Amino acid sequence: MNNRSIEFLVGCFVLLGLCAVLYLAIEVGSARFSKSDTYTLEARFSSVSGVNSGSRVEIGGVRIGTVKDIVLSDNFFAIVTMEIPNRIELDDDTIASVKTAGLIGDRFIELSPGGSGFLLEPGDLIVDTESALDVESMIRRFAIGGIDAASE
């Protein structure tokens, strides 16, 4: 083999490696260059403590989407906007709950699909929600209750 053919093969190998790195960067970063294959839904919670933009959205323990945005409404409720794949159709009686992964893990949104037969449209509001269990306030109530019970 002469030097030109070796240089050509090395160039092809480097180009192939760059294409592989670019593909992995797009897949890992979830970048989308084509038409969006997701839609958004909103849910209203009294508290979404620990849930952030970028948190996962799950159904049955399987990640199906992400939290896009969290804003405070005029009447002091947290409105969570979620991105859901188009292939997943949810009924209007779906329940959205704030859950914790493990004892002290990350918080995420768990969707429990309903069975009403009336589908949610993009941008619709999920009305049935459950906020996270506030362990701190439970401990505080128990501690205060324990002091009151001990003093009697």
Check whether 29 has a pLDDT greater than 80.
no
Is residue 24 included in any domain, yes or no?
A: yes
pLDDT the model gives residue 152? 44
Q: What's the token pair of residue 15?
A: 């180009």
In the chain, at which residue ranges do the beta strands (DSSP E only) sit? 38-45, 56-59, 62-72, 78-85, 95-100, 107-112, 125-126, 128-130
pLDDT the model gives residue 117? 85
Q: What is the pLDDT of residues 66-104, one digit of tens each?
A: 999 999 988 889 999 999 999 999 998 999 999 988 777
Q: Which residue has the higher pLDDT, 115 or 64?
A: 64
Please, is 2 exposed, middle or buried when counting C-beta atoms within 10 Å of its C-beta (0-12, 13-18, 19+)?
A: exposed
Q: Measure the CA–CA gap between 62 and 64, rounded to whole angstroms.
A: 6
What percentage of the chain reaches a pLDDT higher than 70? 89
Co-location of 116 and 52 in the same domain? yes
Bin 32: left if φ > 0, else alpha if -120 < ψ < 50, else beta: beta
Number of structural domains (the chain) is 2
Mean residue pLDDT of the chain comes to 85
Co-location of 120 and 78 in the same domain? yes
Q: Which domain holds residue 72?
A: 38-139
Q: Which residue has the higher pLDDT, 130 or 32?
A: 130
